[in-house]
Amino acid sequence: MKKKNSENILIKKKELDKNSPYLFSNTLSSHLERFVNYLQYTKNASPKTIENYSLWVNRFINYVWDIDASQIKMIHIQDFRTALIKQGLSPKTVNYHAVGLRSFFKFLLRNDIETLSPEKVDLAKIPPRRVSYLSEEQVQSILNAPSKYEKRPLKILRDKAILATLYWTWLRVTELITLKTKDIKLSENQFSVIGKGSKLRSVFLTQDAKEKLKKYILSRWDDSEYLFISLSPNSYGEPLSRNSVESLVKKYAELVWITEKVTPHTLRHSFATTLLRRGADIRSVQALLGHSSIQTTQIYTHVDDKYLQKVHDLLDEKKNPQKDIDVDDEMFSNDLFE
């Protein structure tokens, strides 16, 4: 009797093993699901990060026909990189794929899965990033544009609050659209957001931003928990989408006759540039922007030709006969001449 029960248990165990999702498979696609779970539950990565890494790795898996992880060779990486370039992807986008594969291979090796060493996956050299930014006068014209070009009172207040919040707080669009009204305490000058990498950081409000937010919030009569909502009849009260905010910024920039492309990130670039020109130290700007690396912040230390010309003109005796020695200290308040 005991023997029969033991046999039944063994049979059930075999059936369980046969249908178990934990049966080991060494194909790349089988490891991709584990990698996604690792990003989500161990690294606490944002949904967008998980989406991007899944896309980049999955493209590679489809390209190499889902082979065994141990069969990956450098020639596969080189051919994949070439295929992406031939499809018209930029070197920067191709590098994103390489970064995704590096992380994927690191994950496999960390879990004792034999595969290609991530150190072998090189990143292509790309030109230095060119930052687009606006003058303070251009920014001010955008901030004032809703009053001039919009007729609906609540939309004027909402759009002015959005633009002021984007510019004065340096929020990313994703951070802006996920803000809830309860997150903002107008009696205080700061609030907290969860930014890239699920990192908590403090965001500071200027008086101008506080005033615009207060007017907008007090004019709301809906019960939506989100701070910035759609005012369209078909989606009233729903949180704004990323595309909606980008379109809003683009619209007002075009209405005030700014010809270059303007995005919410342009406003972020512009304020960072202004602060550095006025003497803010780069480490403080790094903290305010929420950058994990100082190298990312260093792109804002650029200087345009017009600004250099103004500095040079100060030393021109013909243009400044009374100021051949006395140079404006403000021009030297940043790291331009270090």
Residue 10: inside a domain: no
| Torsion over CA: 145, 150, 155, 157 (sign) | positive
291 shares its domain with 325? no
173 shares its domain with 272? yes
Q: Which two tokens stand for residue 155?
A: 């939309």
pLDDT at residue 315, rounded to an integer: 60
In the annotation, is 268 catalytic?
yes
pLDDT at residue 218, rounded to an integer: 95
181 shares its domain with 218? yes
Residue 312: inside a domain: yes
81 shares its domain with 167? no
CA dist 317 → 305, 307, 310, 330 (Å) = 20, 18, 13, 19
Spans in the chain with pLDDT lower than 70 = 1-24, 129, 197, 291-292, 296-338
321 shares its domain with 230? no
Residue 270: inside a domain: yes
Q: Please tell me which residue in 43, 76, 106, 196 is annotated as part of the active site.
A: 196
- SS3 call for 14: helix
In the annotation, is 300 catalytic?
yes
Q: Please tell me which residue in 212, 268, 269, 277 is annotated as part of the active site.
A: 268
Residue 79: inside a domain: yes
207 shares its domain with 277? yes
270 shares its domain with 154? yes
Residue 337: inside a domain: no
114 shares its domain with 232? no
Boundary residue ending a domain (120, 151, 176)? 120
Question: Structural domain tally of the chain?
Answer: 3
pLDDT at residue 274, rounded to an integer: 80
Determine the Cα–Cα distance for residues 286 and 292; give it in Å rounded to an integer.
Answer: 8
Task: Please give the residue range of the domain that contains residue 328.
Answer: 303-332
224 shares its domain with 321? no
pLDDT at residue 301, rounded to an integer: 64
pLDDT at residue 332, rounded to an integer: 33
The domain that holds 226 is classified in CATH as 1.10.443.10
pLDDT at residue 132, rounded to an integer: 78
pLDDT at residue 211, rounded to an integer: 95
In the annotation, is 86 catalytic?
no
Which amino acid, 245? Answer: V
In the annotation, is 236 catalytic?
no
Determine the Cα–Cα distance for residues 170 and 172; give it in Å rounded to an integer.
Answer: 6
In the annotation, is 196 catalytic?
yes
Long-range CB pairs of 46-53 (<8 Å, 24+ gap) are 46/196, 46/197, 46/198, 48/174, 49/197, 52/96, 52/100, 53/100, 53/103, 53/104
Q: Please tell me which residue in 59, 265, 302, 323 is annotated as part of the active site.
A: 265
